[in-house]
Amino acid sequence: HRILLLGAPGAGKGTQSAKLADEYGVEHVTTGDALRANKEMETEYGTPKSFMDAGELVPDPVVNEIVKAALEDADGFVLDGYPRNLDQAEYLSEITDLDAVVLLDVDEEVLVDRLTGRRVCDDCGANYHVDFQPPEEPGVCDECGGDLVQRDDDTEETARERLEVFYDNTEPVVDHFRDEGVLVEVDGEATPDEVFERIRDVVEN
């Protein structure tokens, strides 16, 4: 399987990609996590952190490099967080083919609630939400007991900026795949398990 999962910030790409990678035994390739793991890396454009904390896109050369290296090593994959603009989409088409392109559709106000309520484990990276996916004990990871923290870019102001960047830069990528006739849209407003069933249905049929 070579699956591309598209969707706005907070649409559930990370949540669903992890499940899909598990289900199909393929690599979960996510530029967001890769960049967070290398936030302080000095590039000729500045650190990834300087862009991410403002909700802006990290420059294409930095991100393209990450994706190329990750896909070279992967037999199958679920790609999440890339491409985010038409130039990245063009680059991706040069380095790999895709079997499925899935868009997770979620309303804007739901996205803001999901982003501002998200908490992530400082140790293992597991994802929670204060209302929608609360941990058993507040502030503590169910998986590993680590501390749950808020991502620096999940403040309401930065979340709204990220949504603007999505509508300006990434919607044209969605339209591009729609015009090619390969896009499948999935309603992302349901429980994580229900959304997962919907995606599995379209990937397998």
Q: Which residues would be at the binding site for Zn ion (CB under 5 A)?
A: 121, 123-124, 126, 141, 143-144, 146
Q: Answer yes or no whether residue 9 interacts with ligand AP5 by CB under 6 A.
A: yes
Q: Which of residues 162, 174, 198, 203 is near ligand AP5 by CB under 6 A?
A: 162
**Residue in 16, 25, 29, 28 with CA at minimum distance from that of residue 199:** 16
Burial pattern 18-49, b for ≥16 Cβ within 10 A else e, equals bbbbeebebbbbbbbebbbeeeeeeeeeebbb
* Strands annotated E in the chain: 2-7, 27-30, 77-80, 100-105, 118-121, 127-129, 148-149, 183-187
C-beta of 150: minimal distance to ligand AP5 in Å? 10
d(CA 146, CA 123): 6
Hey, which residues between 126 and 155 contact ligand AP5 (CB under 6 A)? 127-129, 132-133, 153
Is 160 labeled as ligand-binding? no
Cis peptide before 83 (omega within 30 of 0): yes
Residue choice 12, 29, 103, 121 for contact with ligand AP5 (CB under 6 A): 12
Stretch that binds ligand AP5, among 19-27, 29-37, 93-101, 176-184 (CB under 6 A): 29-37
Please choose which of ligand AP5, Zn ion, none residue 10 contacts, taking the beta carbon within 5 to 8 angstroms, the exact cut-off set by kind.
Answer: ligand AP5
The residues annotated with a catalytic role in the active site are: 13, 84, 118, 151, 162
Q: Which residues are annotated as a binding site for ATP?
A: 10-15, 118, 190
